[in-house]
Each structure stands twice: as structure tokens, then as C-alpha cells.
A and B are shown apart, each in its own frame.
Chain A
Amino acid sequence: MSQPGFFDLLSLGSEGWGRALLAGAWMTVLIALSGYGIGAVIGAFGAWGKLSGGKAIRVVADAYTTVARGIPDLLVIYLLYFGGSAAITSLGRMFGAEGFIGFPGFLAGALAVGITSGAQQTEVFRGAFKAVHPGEIEAAIACGMSRTLRFRRIIAPLTLRHALPGLGNVWQIALKESALVSITGVAELLRQAQVGAGSTGLPFDFYLIAGILYLAISSVSGGVLRQAERYFGRGVRRG
């Protein structure tokens, strides 16, 4: 058997790995997006808790951000994947199921990415809110806006504008962190590359392709984020 060339591996036909790798790249984007979305919700509540919560809420939020930013992401994935599997298995036993039930890797991965990026987004949102000029909020109060209207029309858009650069960084981190989800066996990009490397004996080619696809995803999303920054920052005078 002759070794297939680098570009033969990429072909989309039945012989090539192109289709599997693209499906993997799509799965990577899905994991990163779901994790990022979970993180955005956690981050919004975390920032709210840190800014205007009572003492107890602030302590909890501080503990969460300290812990989630101080321990390796890999450990969080292990906790959710193995801990989740153990929990589900014992739950299954109560209902008479036999044997081991695995926790879905996708869910474990998305939750893990969500927990770590949630801590980062908490800090991003908090910093962004603090960057909102108090005068703007005072003006809104003076206009007689209700709390919800004030949040919807003034605070949320301004906070988001200040948060965008930080949110872009957090997205790039989440995207790269999603590669760790491959240890749960979810068929994302790195996992597909591992499978390909194992069955063809060409690890360098496959990890190189995976790296190029990650670069492509991060460049495209980076471009979109820059556009978004320009769009939402169009009311800001520069220089």
C-alpha cells in the first residue's frame, strides 16, 4: 500500500478524510458556541452578583471566579465527565438499569467550557459595566426611565460595547479549550484527527490539518468580531 499524499487525505470523497475533518470542525464550533453561550449567561449573572449582590452573593461569585480561573480546564472536564458518569450510573441503578452509563461527552464538554469561560466573562462584564460613564445612567434616571428600560436601552448596549474586545478574547480561549473535549471521545476536530492519524499512520499530516482548521476558524471568527467591534463602536470618537 502506498502512502497517500497530504492532499489525498483532504479529499472529500470516500477515500479521503476531508468530510470527517470538516464534520469535526463543525462539532468543534458547536461545542465552543454552546460552552460560550453557557458562559455568557453565567458571566452576566456573575457580574450582576459581584456588582450589586449582597455580601453572601459577592463571596460566592468571588470564590467561583477564583476557583474556575485557578485550576486547569482539563481537571474540570474530568470532573464533569467522570463525575457525571458516576452520578448517572448510580441514578440508573435506582431505576433498575444495569452496568455503566456514560455521561454524554458533548454535554460535559460544553458545560466545562461554559464554567471556565463563565468566570472570564464575569470579569469582562464587570469591567465593562464599570467603564460605563455614570453620567449616562444618571441621565437615564433623570429622563424617568424605569429600571428595565434603563437596562435595556442604556446599560446593556453600553456595557456590551465596552465588553466586546474582552469577549472576543474569551471566545478565542473557549475555541481552543474545546480541543480538550476530545478526551471524552466526542467526534470534534482534534478527535477526528486522532482517529485519522491512528488509522493511516500519518500523525503529522493530520495534526497539521487540524491546526490549520483551528487557525481558519479562529481567523474567521476574529474577523467577524472585529467587524462587530467597529459596528457597535461607531458612536465612539477615536483618538
Chain B
Amino acid sequence: MDFEFTRDTFLSLIAAVPMTLSLAATSIAFGIVLALLLALARISGILPLDWFARLYLFVFRGTPLLVQIFLIYYGLSQFPAIRHSFVWPILRQPYWCAIIALTLNTGAYGSEIIRGGLLSVPHGQVEAARAAGMSRFKLFRRIVMPLAIRQALPGYGNEMISMIKSTSLASIITLMDITGVAAKIISETYRAIEVFVVAGAIYLAINFALTRLVQLVEYRLSPHLRRPPPAAAPIIEGEAL
């Protein structure tokens, strides 16, 4: 193995990490909002909303992400109406097209995870909250949401990891993320193995860090499942409300 080449490759690939992370973080953040809306549409009991969400899931989970990216990046430019509209400055850029496609895609997968989390909230908890006189919104914010997040977190962690991997497809529409830079170096030097090892190691490191982060959040969110610390002094202060 050529040490100098490996080092240069590593330095070029590390410089592309921010692109990969920004693609992943932005689309995961937008995707969670979309996923929550779709999950709420599924369990709302309002038929048109439910059907729309089902159709959306069918389409976005049944087609390859690459087709969705091409449809948005190349496909939409076919229509003069779009090219002359106010959204064109966004849709013209591969970065935003990739974000849109990744968001729409992760929204579909994420909504099923969130729906599972929402459905797993024990009915007794909801009844207790109602009995305590909570409003619908407060009940959702204080009771359903925290329990659902706790339940959905491991699944969502997997989805985030698969998003990190999916961002690599953005390299096909010219974005220079880790895979994009790796492909460029490979096609220039034809030394696929070294580049693959370095790029793979970077992806593994990112995914490992993400896994640990999710585990940490999971730990913080489930104090009720842990043994209490041995010498916990009883906390009795202030007045009960």
C-alpha cells in the first residue's frame, strides 16, 4: 500500500465530510417533520388523509431513490413553467434537489417508524392524561410524544444511518460529497482498493459515531428503565402542585 497516496486520498476525502454531513443533517431534519405529518395523517382516521399517506408511502418506498433524484433534478427542468417560476433558483441547484429527494424519501420510511412509536403508547397513559384534564395538544406534547420518541428512537437511528449512506447518491448529480470525491480519485488513478478502504473507513466512523449518539440519547430518555443510583437521597422540597 502506497502510504503517500493513501494520506493524500484521506485528506481529500476528509475535506468532503462536511458536504455529506450537511446533506444528511438537513434532509433528516426536514424528513422528521414530514414523517411526523405523514404518521399523523395515517392515524388521524380521516380517510382522504390516510389514503394520501398510504399512496405516498407506496410510491416513495417502491421506487429507487436514484429515480426520485433524477425525476426532481433532470425531470422537472423539462417544464418551461417551472424553469420560469420562482422555485427555479432552488430546483436548478443539485444540492437542493438532492435535499428534496432525500427528504421526501426519508419522510416515507420515517413515518412508519414514528407511527409504530405513536401506536405503542399504552392506552392507559392517554386515559390517565385525559382524566387529569389535559387538553388534546398538551396530552400529545407531554404524554404521547415523549413515549413515542423513546419507542421509535432505535428504529429512527437505523433510518439515520441509512440516510448517511443514501447521501452518496447525490454524487451522481455532480455533488462532491465523500463518494463523489472518491469516484473522482478512482477514475483518475484507477486505484479503487485504496480509495475504497479510506472512504469506507470514513463512512464507518461517521456511522459508528451516530450509533453511539443515538444510544446516548436513548439512555438519557429512559431513566425509568434504569436501576436507581444506590444512595439516592429522597428529594422532598417545595410544595406539590
Contacts and interface: CB of A to CB of B under 8 A. Distances in A.
User: What are the 8 tightest A-B residue pairs by CB atom distance, in nearest-first order?
Assistant: A83-B192, A72-B168, A204-B75, A179-B64, A203-B74, A82-B192, A176-B64, A79-B196
A82 to B, nearest CB: 4
- Residue in B58, B78, B179 with the greatest tally of chain A CB atoms within 10 Å: B78
A66 B204 CA distance: 8
Interface string B134-167: 0000000000000000000000000001000111
Contact of B190 (A85, A172, A190): A85
Contacts of B175: none
Contacts of A178: 64
A80 B191 CA distance: 11
Contacts of A86: 190-192
Interface of B: 58-59, 61-68, 70-71, 74-79, 161, 165-169, 171-172, 179, 182-183, 186-187, 190-193, 196, 199-200, 203-204, 207-208
A85 B192 CA distance: 9
A178 B67 CA distance: 11
A157 B97 CA distance: 46
Interface stretch (A91-99, A146-154, A209-217): A209-217
A179 B66 contact: yes
A201 B76 CA distance: 12
- The DSSP consensus for interface residues of chain A is helix
A74 B171 contact: yes
Given A203-B77, A207-B70, 11 more contacts: A75-B199, A82-B192, A83-B192, A86-B190, A177-B64, A182-B66, A205-B78, A210-B67, A211-B59, A215-B59, A215-B63
A204 B78 contact: yes
A73 B67 CA distance: 16
A201 B75 CA distance: 10
Interface footprint category on A: 35 or more
A70 interface: yes
A179 B66 CA distance: 7
A197 interface: yes
Given A79-B192, A82-B190, A83-B196, A203 B168 contact: no
A193 B62 CA distance: 17
A182 B74 CA distance: 16
B116 to A, nearest CB: 15
A219 B63 CA distance: 10
A141 B200 CA distance: 45
Given A71-B203, A72-B168, A82-B190, A211 B78 contact: no
A67 interface: yes
Contacts of B64: 176-180, 190, 214
Contacts of A190: 64, 66-67, 70
